Amino acid sequence: MSGATGGAVGRGAVGRGAGGLATGGAGTVARPALPLPAQRSAEPVPRRGTVVVSSMASDAHTWNLVFLQLLIEELGFEVVNLGATVPDEMLLAECRERGPVLLVLSSVNGHGYHEGLRVIRRLRADAGLAGLPVLIGGKLGITGGESAEHIAELLDAGFDAVFDDRPEGIAAFTGLLGRLSERQAHELR
């Protein structure tokens, strides 16, 4: 199925550790303060808010997205999973409509660095989404183990954290979500 075999899953779409945020690590960099968006309405919201999980336009892999959904749900959030090959316009529209507390982008097809830059610039240029916390992770480049320059570039362009595919990534990611979750619970109290 994927690669020359005709689709996404057949070639082992999932790496060891299964995360699209699969395994980041020394390369995991978070900005010191994670900004949170203001509450958007008085409607009842789930206790810890909604997290949008998404791929980007060129990536047809999905096991990474399924794994992230389960992991984030286990931390007490509602998850909206947009699935595979999400066009930029759709991603922006869904984020505007759903008002998530966090957007998690996962990419495992090797184009994550280029696509991530394009998508974050569009998000940050959108008045309603400029302050949305956005994470990106996975296998972002073709060679594995993203370079420090690429990670710095992604952060400069507006990502709040970047996780490349090193084994410590999941722990760093859940730690970050845990902190977000505590803060969110506090604000909603």
Which residues in this chain contact other proteins in the complex, by CB under 8 A? 1, 3-14, 16-18, 60, 62-63, 65-68, 70-71, 74, 81, 83-86
Residue 163: how many other CB atoms lie within 10 Å: 32
Buried b / exposed e over 16-44, threshold 16 CB at 10 Å, is eebbbbbbbbebbbbeeeeebbeeeeeee
Residue 75 beta carbon to other proteins: minimum distance, rounded to whole angstroms: 10
Which residue number, 5 or 31, has a Cβ lying nearer to other proteins?
Answer: 5
**From the CB of 83, what's the least distance to other proteins, in Å?**
4
Nearest distance from C-beta of residue 123 to other proteins, angstroms: 20
Task: Please state the closest distance from residue 9 (CB atom) to other proteins, in A.
Answer: 3
- In this structure, the number of other CB atoms found within 10 A of the CB of residue 87 comes to 10
- Taking the least distance from each CB to other proteins, the nearer of 25 and 110 is 110
- Residue closer to other proteins by CB (options 26, 90) is 90
Q: Which tokens hold the place of 103?
A: 């957007």
For residue 177, give the nearest of 19, 8, 48, 39 by alpha carbon. 48
Q: Which is nearer to other proteins, 98 or 124 (CB)?
A: 98
